Structure formats: structure tokens, C-alpha cells
Amino acid sequence: MTTAKDLFSIALEPRPEGSPGQGDLSLSLAGAELVDLLRVEAVALDGDLIVPGPRPDLDDRLLGAAAAVLVRQVPYEHVEDWLWRRGRDLAAAYQEAFEEDGLLARARRGRLGLGAERMELVDTPARHRAQRRWQAGDPVLGALAAAIGIDGGEGAGDDGGPGGEAVTTVLAAVNDAVMELEAVRQRRSIENAAFANVWRVP
């Protein structure tokens, strides 16, 4: 399992505070993919520019898809731009892949299978591996989860081991992108409320 798949698995685990938003999760998944690409030396960072390395031979098709869409010409892409571009609808792509791989199944609430349809993680070795990584306090997984409001990751302030400063740069960019997305949501909410108030004026 890749960091992104482990993150997606952790994000889907039932918790009292509910699941993270699709946009937030998509940005964090894009960051997780970039961390994995750094670790297999498919890319390196020059400041916050993503410099592609040799085309890697990757077993994971989603990570392979991420490597395939790297910008390979100068000027290279900034980490933040990658997060927004690669992150577009990425959570939906991971959901589809999990369903195809038998890691996620549709379940129904209520008696006799009635009620709202929801997605449920299947009890698989992949799910257990993600849980073990989470419970062991993997710093990168913890930081990526914390960025989208999932508490419980240990050592999120660590530099992430292999990749060091480059991984830290990616994690910081994920935090910034998620905060920017929340600011956009708040601004739209205020604008919509102001528009609605116009029509209430006698």
C-alpha cells in the first residue's frame, strides 16, 4: 500500500467527528502521492519546484498515473500547483480504485438493507497494514491526516524520515492548500448569505 492508499483507508475509518471533505482529502492524497514519488526517487525538489527523475516502474496504478502526469519540461511545477492540479477529484479516483480492488464495498443502514447507501471498508490485510502504520505513529501519515482534521497521528512534527526537508516542504504545502480551500468555502458562504439577505429586505 502507498501512503496515499493508507491515508484514504484511515480517512474512511468510522469516527465521531465524521469524514473529511472530498476537496480536503483530494489535496492531501495528492501530497501523499508526491511523498511516495520522492521516496522512490521519481522526483526531487528544488526549493518548491518538482524536478522529475527517471520514469519509475511502479506497481501501483494510481501512483503510476501520478508519475505519468508530472511536468517534465522547464519551468517545472510548484508543489502547490501540483496539489491543486493532481488533487482535482482525486478522492473519487481512490474510491473507484478501492471498489475495484475489493477494499471498499457499498453498505446500507437500517433494517432489511433499507436506508441511505454508504461506503464501508472491507476487512482486508491492506486495511490492517494501514491501521498498524497509523497506530505506530508514522509521522508523514499523521501529518497528512492532521491537515484534514483527523486527530490521532503521533509525531506529526517529524521530518518524515527519508526525504527529510523535501517531505516537510510537501506537508507544509498540503496544510496551506487545505487552509486556502477552507478560506474559499468561508468566503462563498458569506457571499451567499449576503445575497440571500438582499432578497429579505422589505
pLDDT tens across the length of the chain (202 residues):
899 999 999 999 987 666 788 899 999 999 999 999 999 999 999 999 999 998 888 999 999 999 999 999 999 999 999 999 999 999 999 999 999 999 988 775 544 444 445 678 999 999 999 999 999 999 999 999 999 999 864 444 444 444 589 999 999 999 999 999 888 777 766 666 555 555 554 5
Query: What is the rounded distance in angstroms from the CA atom of residue 24 to the CA atom of residue 124?
Result: 26
Query: What is the rounded distance in angstroms from the CA atom of residue 128 to the CA atom of residue 78?
Result: 34
Per-residue pLDDT at 156: 43
Report strand pairing: 104-108 vs 117-121: antiparallel
| DSSP-based three-state secondary structure for 119 | strand
H or E stretch covering 106: strand 104-108
The three cell numbers of residue 64 are 503510476
Per-residue pLDDT at 160: 45
Instruction: Find out whether 52 and 42 touch, Cβ atoms under 8 Å.
Output: yes
Dihedral angle sign, alpha carbons of residues 105, 28, 136, 14: negative
Per-residue pLDDT at 158: 45
Single-letter code of the amino acid located at 189? S
Per-residue pLDDT at 194: 55
Per-residue pLDDT at 57: 87
Query: What is the rounded distance in angstroms from the CA atom of residue 32 to the CA atom of residue 82?
Result: 12
Per-residue pLDDT at 55: 86
Query: What is the rounded distance in angstroms from the CA atom of residue 154 to the CA atom of residue 131?
Result: 13
| CA atoms within 13 A of residue 184's CA, in its CB half-sphere | 8
In the chain, what are the domain boundaries? 3-109+116-198
Per-residue pLDDT at 106: 77
DSSP states of 22-88 as a string? Answer: HHHHHHHHHHHHHHHHHHTTSEEEETTEEEE-SPP--S-HHHHHHHHT---SSSPEEHHHHHHHHHT
The three cell numbers of residue 134 are 497509523
Single-letter code of the amino acid located at 76? Y
